């Protein structure tokens, strides 16, 4: 009596948890999408946009300089002559006009930083490192432009010649100058912080992985 033959094993079947699919042809729309998919418009496009944003934000310094020249308080000076030598001194030694000049520039810089951040966020909601760098760099260049423009538009920087021109004992305004150079950072810092807050609150969210 012979033992029954053992039936051959069934053909190997894939597990229901596995799924095999032939790769799409090379020219198919989805070919290579699983390997890499570019996110955003591309680095070259972002760099071009960043250059344009830097220039546009920096040109806003012209308006900042005009506002600073118009709104900043004037420091009163008085000239006097002693032994054929002219001496210029501050008329109101306890006044706060000099502090007000720096404060006016700082407040205007904070306002310009906030406005530039809001405009950039509305135009380019997706953000990106080049755009943020352009915002900060443009704000710094705009502050420098506003500072130099305000000095040029302000009163004559040669106070002795100005004192001789107006006469002895006549009050005249001091040159417009920025004593606290840290005020130049008000615009870029305010712009970066405001843009960071807007992106965190209202920026696009990445889709969650399934």
Tens digits of residue pLDDT in 103-115: 999 999 999 999 9
| pLDDT at 163 > cutoff 90 | no
| pLDDT at 146 > cutoff 60 | yes
pLDDT at 46: 84
The whole model's pTM is what?
0.74
Nearest-10 crossing angle of helices 43-71, 129-153: 30
CA torsion angle 96 99 104 110 (round to 10)? -140
| pLDDT at 133 > cutoff 70 | yes
Tens digits of residue pLDDT in 26-66: 555 444 444 333 445 578 888 899 999 999 999 999 999 99
Confidence label for 209 from pLDDT (cuts 50, 70 and 90): low
Highest mean pLDDT among 4-8, 82-86, 105-109, 179-183: 105-109
Highest mean pLDDT among 60-64, 123-127, 179-183: 60-64
């Amino acid at each position: 009596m012979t033992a029954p033959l053992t039936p051959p094993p069934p053909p190997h079947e894939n597990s229901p948890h596995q799924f095999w699919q032939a790769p799409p042809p090379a020219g198919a729309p989805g070919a290579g999408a699983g390997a890499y998919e570019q996110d955003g418009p591309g680095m070259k496009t972002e760099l071009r946009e960043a250059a344009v944003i830097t220039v546009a934000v920096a040109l806003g310094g012209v308006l900042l300089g005009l506002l600073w020249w118009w709104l900043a308080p004037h420091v009163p000076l008085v000239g006097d002559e002693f032994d054929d030598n002219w001496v210029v001194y501050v008329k109101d030694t306890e006044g706060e006009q000099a502090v007000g000049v720096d404060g006016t520039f700082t407040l205007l810089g904070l306002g310009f930083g906030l406005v530039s951040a809001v405009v950039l966020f509305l135009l380019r909601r997706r953000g990106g490192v080049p755009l943020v760098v352009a915002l900060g760099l443009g704000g710094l260049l705009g502050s420098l432009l506003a500072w130099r423009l305000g000095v040029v538009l302000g009163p004559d920087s040669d106070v002795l010649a100005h004192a001789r021109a107006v006469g002895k004992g006549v009050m005249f305004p001091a040159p417009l100058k920025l004593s606290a150079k840290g005020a130049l950072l008000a615009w870029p810092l305010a712009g970066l912080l405001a843009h960071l807050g807007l992106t965190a609150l209202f920026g696009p969210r990445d889709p969650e992985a399934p």
